[in-house]
Amino acid sequence: MALIEVDNLVKEYQLSVRHKGLLGSIRSLLIPEYTKKVAVDSISFSIEKGETVGFIGPNGAGKSTTVKMLTGILTPTSGTITVGGLSPYKDRKKNASRIGVVFGQRTQLWWDLPVADTYDLLKYIYKIPDNVFRENMELFTDILGLHEFLKQPVRQLSLGQKMRADIAAALLHNPEIIFFDEPTIGLDVVAKEQIREFVRTVNRERGTTMLFTTHDMSDIEKTCKRMIIIDHGKKIYDGTVEEIKEKYGKSRVLRVEFSEYIPNVQLPGAELIKEEGNKKWFEFQKDQTQVSRLINTLSQKYGIVDITVQEPEIEGVIREIYQGGIHLDETLSGVS
Ligand SMILES: Nc1ncnc2c1ncn2[C@@H]1O[C@H](COP(=O)(O)OP(=O)(O)OP(=O)(O)O)[C@@H](O)[C@H]1O
């Protein structure tokens, strides 16, 4: 049995119908009417121990609702979830001790307490043995650079420091599974990279299972092997990040450094998209133009110092999927 098993999961929210005007308001009060919003529509998937999975989709797709059900905060309308053999909403307390949750937009730390005191409190709450606490504090301080601000109250921390402090707090009790909700939102590139590196280290060294919801495709590309895409509450893709890029990222960029400045380069089958000194970037469609033909054409006419082919950005592929420009085929999408 997989660590996380989700079968035909459905969540409907009940919304009250409001009528216009004073009479309408009175009517709504006396005879309340409701409509249903299906936020999660028969989703199934399973996640094995040690996997890192990106859970993505456009705004309102149903990601948070699914994660809230996985963590036991919400009860499903129908379908089943098991996390390590437990039902998250029925065995909420037991489940909580085995999971860690990191919210990018909210802190779980005590606002007025120094960070170190928060960790002491968590040690007490989760009954973390001394040796585990010491080992984790050492590792987290080292990779996340906690020593800079351990004695400062949480309210004085910068966004990036708070995020690092929050991640350490969520992992202190050695959870088997961690749910990250937009873990790098609002952070600068250095802080983002530090967090991604930390996540990779913990996954590699401890085999911790990780699920990310994020709008930052670099988070997914740099930390996850697998990606589940949902849209309008339905699962539309479940597979590797590489596979979706390879199959749907049709455009490639040829970056060429010439031995001298050449004003007009004609390259049939490719379009000039950028130039900088002696360097030029050409975009081409990999299923229409062979890269070897482009290289031959260029090298016969011009002196070339360096040439590289750049892979497609996952960001662009996902944008097109959200905009309906790419229809995923069922054999690839792993959707049954
Ligand atoms: N408490 C609620 N009551 C009613 N409808 C809700 C509630 N929470 C979410 N919804 C609706 O359910 C749908 C899914 O919302 P959800 O927050 O799960 O999406 P999401 O994929 O996490 O979006 P985002 O990327 O914007 O955070 C949306 O249409 C949303 O308006």
* Tokens standing for residue 228: 């589940």
How many A from CA of 217 to the centre of ligand 1?
20
* Amino acid type, 21: G
The predicted model scores a pTM of 0.82
Closest ligand 1 atom to residue 62 Cα is 18
Interface confidence, given as ipTM, is 0.97
Angle between helices 130-144 and 189-206 (to 10 degrees): 140
Ligand 1 pocket member 14 (CB < 6 A): no
Ligand 1 pocket member 162 (CB < 6 A): no
Alpha helices (H) along the chain: 21-30, 63-70, 92-98, 115-125, 130-144, 159-171, 189-206, 217-223, 241-248, 291-301, 314-322, 330-333
How many A from CA of 57 to the centre of ligand 1?
12
Tell me whether residue 296 is exposed, middle or buried, using C-beta atoms within 10 angstroms of its C-beta: 0 to 12, 13 to 18, 19 or more. exposed
Convert the pLDDT of each residue in 52-100 to its tens digit. Answer: 999 999 999 999 999 999 999 899 999 999 999 999 999 988 888 899 9
Helix (H, G, I), strand (E, B) or coil at 158: coil
Convert the pLDDT of each residue in 143-157 to its tens digit. Answer: 888 998 999 999 999
